[in-house]
A = this chain, B = another copy of it.
Amino acid sequence: MNLVIIGGDAAGMSAASRARRIDPEAEIIVLEKTSDVSYSACGMPYNIADPNKEIDELVVRPAKVFREKFSIDLRLGHTVTRIDRENNTVIGIEEQEKQEFKINYDKLLIATGASPIYPDIPGLDKEGISSLKNLQDGRQIKNYLSRNSVSKAVIIGMGYIALEMAEAFRDLDIKVTMVKPRSQILPWMSNQLSETVKKELQENEVELYPGQKINKIERHSQGLNLSCSEVELSCDFVLPATGVSPNSKIALDAGLEAGPGNSIAVDRYMRTTDPNIYAAGDCADAYHVLSGKKTWVPLALWANRGGRAAADNIYGKNLRMQGIASTSVFKVFNLEVAKTGFSYFEAIEHGFDPVEVNISSRSRAHNHPGSKTIQVAMLGDRNTGLLLGAQMLGMEGCAHRINAVAVALHNNMLVEDFWQTDLSYAPPFGPVWDPLLTAANQLSKQL
């Protein structure tokens, strides 16, 4: 049996490695359109922040290792343009020789990832404007910053990558302005928490312009100019970071069913609607552990997990995936910002009647030195008492604390039962009643 994998990043290479581990004899072909495989995409902002680091330090396993140690037929510069399901064939272009290729598959895994959404702004193609998704983007941005005098950057968007890049630019002593059309900074976050993020950005001299439509970008001799609805912004570099969308075109063109957000629909075994074709990673959808409904959340762990599970199932292991709780964390300057489960509006979309509480607690015990504020927003369902999710932030103690809630969501716990969980306590690490328990207690009273 041969396995063809389209895409050589998190999901694709996890699948390839897993397939090799399961079947030492399997023929495994990976078709990757760029020249990079298996790198830590999430590490790019931190690498860019440090001019002494090479972008290639983010490569976890080089192509050579996959080829020689794992005997994987890894073909770089191979862009698949079409899937011919009738003939079990993928068709594409090899970049260097511009030759068409056709490859037969017994089983196919689509792991094409996601691409940045380019906002519809005239002038977005000018020099000094680059988004950050793959390693080649990171390489280009790093090169641009080292070869040009960049003292001011504008970031379009205020999501994870935008916020992490704001910090990276400030580390490089570049002035940062963030601008976006919607008025809310972090629309998935409770107002109280999002205000704290805003303050943290402002304290680190990041200028914020939410609620600004960007009409055009022009290039002058001195740099770039963004004309927005109420403000003109000049800078030396523009980073559009307004989210990503799944690279699902070849799958949907081939008649495979679509999931939310134009992703590729997969079942709990990572199978698409074609029994010979699987999909995993940022291009595929997932079941939410709370609602059991489909959702699309491009996150690194799920991509790795999905690729691995696809290989397991292709090789007959029958691994049923529980789904995602949509847990995430990011660092923005001195804050750890974490989330799991549904935000208020997501909960409504998934059919719940959410109640949200916001509490403020401490990262260390009463009177313990160095204690910081921790804010928690927690949501429960008015009808069932079900715990729906939590968001939290603080200067310490949030990145891993959120996981207690994530595990609770996997078990469909009631808020009142979560309140009973036996969480750790010692003075250097929190109050006797963990901030999450305090939030659960308050939320219980409201339900």
8 tightest A-B CB contacts, nearest first: A403-B404, A399-B429, A411-B411, A329-B424, A325-B422, A400-B401, A407-B407, A322-B420
Residues 162-174 of A, flagged 1 when their CB comes within 8 A of B and 0 if not, give 0000000000000
CB atoms of B433 and A301 under 8 A apart: yes
> Which residues of chain B are near A422, meaning CB under 8 Å?
289, 301-302, 323-327, 340, 406, 410
CB atoms of A304 and B400 under 8 A apart: no
> Which one of A60, A323, A400 has the greatest number of beta carbons of chain B within 10 Å?
A400
A42 interface residue per 8 A CB criterion: yes
Question: Min CB distance, A390 to chain B, in Å?
Answer: 11
> Which residues of chain B are near A305, meaning CB under 8 Å?
420
Question: Min CB distance, A363 to chain B, in Å?
Answer: 10
Complexed CA–CA distance, A365 and B432 (Å): 30
A121 interface residue per 8 A CB criterion: no
A283-333 CB contacts (< 8 Å) to partner B:
289, 299-302, 304-305, 321-331
A421 interface residue per 8 A CB criterion: yes
> Which one of A338, A397, A399, A407 has the greatest number of beta carbons of chain B within 10 Å?
A407
Complexed CA–CA distance, A301 and B402 (Å): 19
Known: A40-B427, A43-B366; 17 extra A-B contacts, CB below 8 A, are: A40-B432, A46-B368, A289-B422, A301-B423, A301-B425, A301-B433, A302-B422, A304-B433, A329-B426, A330-B426, A399-B426, A403-B403, A403-B404, A404-B406, A404-B407, A407-B407, A411-B411
> Which residues of chain B are near A418, meaning CB under 8 Å?
407
CB atoms of A424 and B338 under 8 A apart: yes
Question: Min CB distance, A255 to chain B, in Å?
Answer: 30
> Which residues of chain B are near A60, meaning CB under 8 Å?
366
A236 interface residue per 8 A CB criterion: no
What are 13 pairs between A and B in contact, CB < 8 Å?
A40-B365, A40-B427, A42-B425, A46-B368, A300-B425, A301-B425, A304-B432, A400-B400, A400-B430, A404-B406, A406-B422, A406-B423, A407-B408
> Which residues of chain B are near A338, meaning CB under 8 Å?
424
Question: Min CB distance, A197 to chain B, in Å?
Answer: 15
Complexed CA–CA distance, A315 and B405 (Å): 30
Pick from B10, B302, B328, B424: contact of A402, CB below 8 A.
B424
CB atoms of B368 and A424 under 8 A apart: no
Complexed CA–CA distance, A57 and B427 (Å): 14
A356 interface residue per 8 A CB criterion: no
**Chain A interfacial positions (CB closer than 8 Å to B):** 10, 40, 42-43, 46-47, 50, 57-58, 60, 289, 299-302, 304-305, 321-331, 336, 338, 340, 365-369, 397, 399-408, 410-411, 413, 417-418, 420-430, 432-434, 436
Task: Given the known inter-chain contacts A365-B42, A424-B338, A424-B400, please indicate yes or no for A429 contacting B329, CB distance below 8 A.
Answer: yes
Pick from B58, B417, B421: contact of A406, CB below 8 A.
B421
> Which residues of chain B are near A50, meaning CB under 8 Å?
369
Complexed CA–CA distance, A366 and B57 (Å): 9
Task: Given the known inter-chain contacts A40-B365, A60-B366, A366-B40, please indicate yes or no for A327 contacting B428, CB distance below 8 A.
Answer: no
Complexed CA–CA distance, A334 and B305 (Å): 33
> Which residues of chain B are near A403, meaning CB under 8 Å?
400-401, 403-404, 421, 423-424, 434, 436
CB atoms of A365 and B43 under 8 A apart: yes
Complexed CA–CA distance, A400 and B326 (Å): 19
> Which residues of chain B are near A57, meaning CB under 8 Å?
367
Task: Given the known inter-chain contacts A42-B365, A302-B422, A406-B422, please indicate yes or no for A429 contacting B400, CB distance below 8 A.
Answer: yes
> Which residues of chain B are near A302, meaning CB under 8 Å?
422
> Which residues of chain B are near A329, meaning CB under 8 Å?
424-426, 429
Complexed CA–CA distance, A433 and B42 (Å): 13
Complexed CA–CA distance, A252 and B369 (Å): 41
CB atoms of B421 and A299 under 8 A apart: no
Complexed CA–CA distance, A404 and B401 (Å): 8
Complexed CA–CA distance, A51 and B127 (Å): 61
Task: Given the known inter-chain contacts A397-B400, A410-B422, please indicate yes or no for A417 contacting B367, CB distance below 8 A.
Answer: no
Complexed CA–CA distance, A421 and B429 (Å): 24
Complexed CA–CA distance, A379 and B176 (Å): 48
Question: Min CB distance, A297 to chain B, in Å?
Answer: 9
